Amino acid sequence: MTCEITYEADTPLSIPYEEIIRRVVEEALEQEGCPYEAEVGVTLTSGDEVRRLNREFRGMDRTTDVLSFPMAEYERPADFDFLEEDSAADCFNPETGELLLGDIVLSVEKIREQAEEYGHSLKRELAFLTAHSMLHLMGYDHVEDEERHLMEERQRLLMKALEIPRE
């Protein structure tokens, strides 16, 4: 697994964020049964940058806590079977053979704000947002109620496996 982590925010995040992110990424891949070695890019940045990306890529001129940029479109969440087709070759890094899952962009300000708002640790908020985004990279969504319930259950199970409960 390759998990490329970039820290672009001006203010430091006083927790071992790289270790937390890598652990969540690995557990999410295992939980969802990803049959490939995978590559994920994670950027921790400012709220202003997340707002700019949200406006540019989603047409929403507001900040948010996390953005997910999956490389593939899944017919069903975490159903990796379609990747065996020749048309899915561009979903793999030609140099390493790893599945290119996509990119995660996290707002450091929102991590802090939401941890305080929900009364839990920075570790828990970072882990939750990373887990949420990893599920998006593997085809989960929360637009429809049925999808939302499924995604919430997968998030709950992932956080339980990580032994990072709600505080």
Read off the pLDDT of residues 46-66 as tens digits, 9 standing for 90 and up. Answer: 999 999 999 999 999 999 999
In a 3-state reduction of DSSP, which class is residue 57? helix
Whether pTM exceeds 0.85? yes
Residue 37 buriedness (CB in 10 A; 0-12 / 13-18 / 19+): middle
pLDDT tens digits along 146-161: 999 999 999 999 999 9
Identify residue 14 by its one-letter amino acid code. S
33, 77 contact by CB (below 8 A):
no
Length of the chain: 167
55, 61 contact by CB (below 8 A):
yes
